[in-house]
Structure 1
């Protein structure tokens, strides 16, 4: 039950680049049908794969969070280049 709960909380419904281009909003599902929004600075988001190589899911890592957020690749990418140059980048963080 806890595993299904965590998967639901980490599945991304919408990924929105906020005005100004410095913040991403993760809109995720919740088990009771509501939406949960998490605003994160763009430099704290790293894609583990590129959009072209991901087959089913694209894991996005947020610095400071334990688990990855999961972006379904069957979704729509209205502006694919913008995604690739903002949220779709793999960033290396100095530990």
Structure 2
């Protein structure tokens, strides 16, 4: 009787862990999509204001210094390491 319960508990634990990992991945993907959307919105605003092409704006934005507050917000997301994003 007890031996029959152990595999059921193992399978239940495995299913629970898989669901937790999936929800964490969905959260990170949503966050990255939100950051990308914000990035494109800022580039669009700069492009319209400066009357530049999107490639000029992206070159300028990529070479600019990152805001330390933004990096500080992302340090608490340890799951970014799963997607090979490293924040120092």
| TM-score, normalising length: structure 1 | 0.23
Q: Report which of the two has the higher share of helix.
A: 2
Structure richer in strand, relative to its length: 1
Q: Which has the larger radius of gyration?
A: 2
TM-score by length of 2: 0.24
